[in-house]
């Protein structure tokens, strides 16, 4: 059986967007499914990680087509550092930055990769007529790729699975975009058309499934997960009481209550002040750094810029506590950050600032892997941090996680293979 996977993010792309389908492809052949990748040629990725190239199976076919990246033109009006586009929406844009945001939001629907749709449909239509493909899979964002799948479905009546790594109109930053009512309606119309037209919808969490079931009764949940890590010898726990956050922290993810509570404990507890260390591994928004500075935590802070995925392992395993902050947005309950699964594998206590009744909390609670405190619950947060600190001082700060193997990439791929086979035969 053969599947065609249409993805914008593919090595050497770094960051979270590439991980899901890179790992699926790694294991699909073991379940009797041959993947063919269709991706962009010479893309302008915000983050590059060359180490991921070695994870691509050497036996698979990879198709590439060039793409016009309008972001290159729009950067003329805004920040020219392409790294800033990696999951960040400028909350304080310049005058020209506001113009760029308005143009991108209202004229590039569903996103800036819309000009890849037409040439991709043409190229893939010819490919599909000459080659036997059992199922086509599109993964977004960018959701323009789902429109490629939609047109191929309408044109060739293919079997089509649409994978949503993140929601479309419920994505954390959607409500911040300077969208006109016309643009919002267009997004909603396209989203509904994609969801209702696909043979199967894949999502990463239960809340997304509930939201999409009204348009398509065939919605399946396959979360993200963790993979076998390279063996890294000699990793020891940090000697200090370290809170380690891995990944980007944008303005919406800024845990202001946490910074205030930490500042309060430092003032009250000299031992804590001497032992506490905050490590932020990855890009942080200026708003986050301003909050940390306001709460006089800069002397406790160690910042590490983006590092390759394989080097993240050591930071996770050496942490006393792994910090996880969910975006404080209307759709917060549905957010499951990809890093949670690698946190589980690191087997260190997790402290999550997130809705206590959200999908992420469900994973942490069922795996007994840590603590979840709501965004504004300073009392519970302080109590939890002090409990963790006391365990650290008594040399018994450990994680007692259970049932985490269900999130191994190989087990998740086994479930994906079953869904592909069912979709193909339906």
pLDDT at 255 over 80: yes
Question: What is the C-alpha separation between 91 and 291, in angstroms, rounded?
Answer: 15
Residue-wise pLDDT for 257-266, tens only, equals 999 999 999 9
Least confident of 4-13, 169-178, 327-336, 413-422: 169-178
- Of the options 1.10.3720.10, 3.40.50.10420, 3.30.160.100, 3.40.50.2000, the CATH number for the domain spanning 2-68+113-225+408-425: 3.40.50.2000
* Residue tagged 């902050």 (tokens): 325
Residues 6+ apart with CB under 8 A from 186: 109
Residue-wise pLDDT for 11-23, tens only, equals 999 888 899 999 9
C-beta separation of 51 from 309 below 8 A:
yes
Within 10 Å of residue 399's Cβ, how many Cβ atoms?
A: 18
Least confident of 84-93, 172-181, 269-278, 307-316: 84-93
Least confident of 6-20, 218-232, 268-282: 218-232
Strand partners, 34: 2
SS3 322: strand
pLDDT at 242 over 60: yes
Q: How confident is the model at residue 79 (pLDDT cuts 50, 70, 90)?
A: very low
pLDDT (mean) for 53-58: 93
pLDDT (mean) for 219-233: 83
* Residue tagged 């760029």 (tokens): 100
Question: What is the C-alpha separation between 73 and 80, in angstroms, rounded?
Answer: 10
Burial status of residue 249 (CB atoms within 10 A of its CB: 0-12, 13-18, 19 or more): buried
Question: What is the C-alpha separation between 348 and 401, in angstroms, rounded?
Answer: 9
Question: What is the C-alpha separation between 267 and 269, in angstroms, rounded?
Answer: 6
Please report the pLDDT score of residue 406 as a whole number: 96
Q: How confident is the model at residue 233 (pLDDT cuts 50, 70, 90)?
A: low
pLDDT at 311 over 90: no
pLDDT (mean) for 115-143: 97
Q: What are the start-end ranges of the H helices in 238-358?
A: 256-268, 270-275, 286-294, 309-318, 339-346
pTM score, whole prediction = 0.89
Q: How confident is the model at residue 76 (pLDDT cuts 50, 70, 90)?
A: very low
Minimal CA–CA distance to 338: which of 8, 32, 104, 19?
19
Question: What is the C-alpha separation between 341 and 8, in angstroms, rounded?
Answer: 23
DSSP letter, residue 108: S
pLDDT at 78 over 80: no
Residue-wise pLDDT for 324-346, tens only, equals 999 999 899 999 998 999 999 99
For residue 164, the surrounding DSSP H or E stretch is: strand 160-164
CATH topology identical between 2-68+113-225+408-425 and 241-404: yes
Residues 6+ apart with CB under 8 A from 19: 224, 309, 338
C-beta separation of 53 from 22 below 8 A:
no
Question: What is the C-alpha separation between 42 and 10, in angstroms, rounded?
Answer: 11
Tell which wins on pLDDT, 80 or 48: 48
Residue-wise pLDDT for 187-197, tens only, equals 999 999 999 99
Please report the pLDDT score of residue 172 as a whole number: 80
Strands 321-325 and 241-246 turn out to be: parallel
C-beta separation of 321 from 27 below 8 A:
no
Within 10 Å of residue 28's Cβ, how many Cβ atoms?
A: 23
Domain boundaries, the chain: 2-68+113-225+408-425, 241-404
**Dihedral pair phi/psi, residue 322, rounded to 5°:** -95, 120
Minimal CA–CA distance to 186: which of 113, 121, 105?
105
**Dihedral pair phi/psi, residue 6, rounded to 5°:** -100, 110
pLDDT (mean) for 26-40: 97
pLDDT at 91 over 80: no
CATH topology of domain 241-404: Rossmann fold (3.40.50)
């Amino acid at each position: 059986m053969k599947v065609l996977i249409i993805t914008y993010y593919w090595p050497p792309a770094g960051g979270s967007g590439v991980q899901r389908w890179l790992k699926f492809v790694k294991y699909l052949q073991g379940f009797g499914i041959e993947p063919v990748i269709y991706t962009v040629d010479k893309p302008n990725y915000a983050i590059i990680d060359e180490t991921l190239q070695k994870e691509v199976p050497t036996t698979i076919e990879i198709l590439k087509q060039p793409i016009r990246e309008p972001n290159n033109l729009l950067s003329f009006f805004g920040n020219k550092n392409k790294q800033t586009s990696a999951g960040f929406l400028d909350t304080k844009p310049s005058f020209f930055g506001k113009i760029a945001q308005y143009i991108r939001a209202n004229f590039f629907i569903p996103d800036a990769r819309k000009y890849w749709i037409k040439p991709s449909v043409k190229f893939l239509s010819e490919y599909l007529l000459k080659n036997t493909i059992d199922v086509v899979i599109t993964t977004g964002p960018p959701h323009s790729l789902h429109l490629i799948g939609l047109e191929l479905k309408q044109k060739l009546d293919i079997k089509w699975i649409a994978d949503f790594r993140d929601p479309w109109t419920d994505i954390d930053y959607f409500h911040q975009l300077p969208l006109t009512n016309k643009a919002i309606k267009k997004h909603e119309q396209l989203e509904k058309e994609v969801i209702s037209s696909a043979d199967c919808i894949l999502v990463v969490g239960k809340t997304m499934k509930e939201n999409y079931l009204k348009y398509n009764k065939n919605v399946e949940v396959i979360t993200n997960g963790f993979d076998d890590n390279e063996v890294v010898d000699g990793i020891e726990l940090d000697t200090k009481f370290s809170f380690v956050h891995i990944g980007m922290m944008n303005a919406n993810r800024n845990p202001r209550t946490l910074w205030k509570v930490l500042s309060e404990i430092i003032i009250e507890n000299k031992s804590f002040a001497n032992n506490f260390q905050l490590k932020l591994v990855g890009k942080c928004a200026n708003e986050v750094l301003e909050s940390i500075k306001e709460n006089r935590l800069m002397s406790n802070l160690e910042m590490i810029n983006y590092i390759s995925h394989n080097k993240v392992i050591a930071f996770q395993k050496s942490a006393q506590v792994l910090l996880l902050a969910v975006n404080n947005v209307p759709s917060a309950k549905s957010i499951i950050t990809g890093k949670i699964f690698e946190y589980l594998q690191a087997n260190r206590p997790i402290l999550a600032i997130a809705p206590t009744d959200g999908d992420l909390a469900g994973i942490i609670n069922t795996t007994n892997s840590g603590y979840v405190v709501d965004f504004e619950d300073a009392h519970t947060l302080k109590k939890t941090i002090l409990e963790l600190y006391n365990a650290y001082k008594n040399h018994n700060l450990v994680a007692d996680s259970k049932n985490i193997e269900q999130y191994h990439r190989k087990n998740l791929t086994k479930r994906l293979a079953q869904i592909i086979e069912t979709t193909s035969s339906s």
